[in-house]
Structure 1
Amino acid sequence: MRLYPVWDPFLRLFHWSLVTLFTLDALVLDPEIRLHRWVGYAVAVLVGLRIVWGLIGPVRARFADFLPTPFAVAEQIGDIRANRRRAHLGHTPLGALMILNLLLTLIAIAVTGYLQTTLAYWGVAWVTELHEGLVTWAELSVAAHIAAVIWESRRTGINLARAMVTGEKPVPEGVELLDHH
């Protein structure tokens, strides 16, 4: 087993802070209380910081490092179908699509949540329904993300959750390493 440094401290802090705040806002706090709004603002700030970090941060944090091409997505699906164990040092193409989905969804949740606090959109049904629908979509996406992390960790023998805690990705012997750096 070889350890590769992958996730920097900011990225890991962002990830686990986002997990905590989204869970708190989506599943614990009453949407009618002021704290719900402030936690939502904190999520929006975190996403904004992640976008900046995706432009100026270390190589693995940069969007340019993991924006998937259709070929890369098809290749990963082919690896799954053929049960080829290949490791991506950074995000996998399918994982990158999930990250983009979650970031865009969280932005839309923040915008619709904020709109509900304005005079123009307060009490407007479609804004509230869209906000709630986006939260449901995010919850489903998070569940799919967790399931995929568990499944892909078992399939490849790489503990992906551990990598997001320690910053180092453990790649077993015999697993082909894909890295374009």
Structure 2
Amino acid sequence: MTATPAGATRVWDRAVRCIHWSLAATCAAAWITTAIGMRWHEPLGYVALALVALRIVWGFAGGRYARFSQFVRSPRATWAYAVQVARGAAPRYLGHNPLGGWMALTLWGCIALLGFTGWLYTTDAFWGEAWLDRTHQVLGWSTLALVVLHLAGVALTARQHREKLVKAMLSGEKPAAGPGDVA
């Protein structure tokens, strides 16, 4: 394990970062394989489903910033934060901010539903069902839209707080909390 540089705080542990980037790569590969080769699409969907399950377990068993109790805020607190974002006055969070926490849950839920509907499509009871195919496609497009929103949120937050969030998600480290920051 590498030492954390002076003035930095270890926020994202290795498991969070590995799951995050593995899930991003798996979902991208699953998306690509819908057009060029369904042979890999199904196994990639199962890998994505397993990664979401692992991240949910880690949300209860992981370190401080991995835990749901640290980053899932109430709807009221999340709305108040959204208002602060709109005003350009949102505080910096070391871990997920309230909108980021709900985005993570929404993405994981959508990916889990994608995996579940994909699996249902392989069963005898639901093979060839048009409504299930449409549902799976809507979930796929919804996931893509959520990813775009997630990336926009990362870009906006990075700009507002002059912070390299992608670098932090690679290294696990963020500048230490300052006055007005939420640890």
Normalised by the length of structure 1, the TM-score is 0.91
- The 2-side partners of 1:51 and 1:168 are apart by 22
Letter matched to residue 125 of structure 1: A
Q: Residues 112-167 of structure 1: CA distance to partner in whole angstroms, max 9, x if unpaired?
A: 00011011101000001000100000000001100110111001112211111110
SS at match of 1:169: strand
Shift of 1:48: 0.8
Q: Which moved more, 1:164-173 or 1:38-47?
A: 164-173
In the alignment, structure 1 residue 10 sits paired with structure 2 residue 15:
yes
Is the contact made by 2:33 and 2:40 (CA closer than 8 Å) also made in structure 1? no
Q: Which runs of 4+ in 1 moved over 3 A?
A: 28-32
How many angstroms apart in 2 are the aligned matches of 1:85 and 1:74?
Answer: 11
Secondary structure at 2:73 match in 1 = coil
Amino acid at match of 1:123: G
Alignment of 1:66-77 (within 5 A): 66-77=71-82
Q: Note the alpha carbon deviations across 1:9-54, whole angstroms, 9 max, x for none.
A: 0100000001101001113444762211111111111111111111
SS in 1 for 2:92: strand
Tell me what 1:89 maps to.
94
In structure 1, what is the Cα distance between the partners aligned to 2:162 and 2:80? 19
Q: 1:96: how far off?
A: 0.7
In the alignment, structure 1 residue 47 sits paired with structure 2 residue 59: no
Quick check: which one's strand share is greater? 1
1:178 aligns with 2:170: no
Matched, 1:123 2:128: yes
Number of equivalenced pairs: 178
- CA distance change for structure 1 residues 39 and 79 in 2, over 3 Å: closer, same or farther? same
Equivalent pair of 1:87/1:178 in contact (CA under 8 Å): yes
User: What root-mean-square deviation, in Å, do the aligned CA atoms of Structure 1 and Structure 2 show?
Assistant: 1.9
Per the normalisation by structure 2, the TM-score is 0.90
Identical-residue share of aligned pairs (%): 34
1:59 to 49, 59, 64: 64
Change in CA separation of 1:9 and 1:110 when aligned onto 2, cut-off 3 Å: same
CA–CA distance in structure 1, aligned partners of residues 53 and 36 of structure 2: 22
2:166 equivalent among 136, 161, 170: 161
Asked if the contact 1:59/1:65 (under 8 Å) is kept, the reply is yes
2:145 corresponds to: 140
Cα distance in 2 for partners of 1:124, 1:2 equals 56
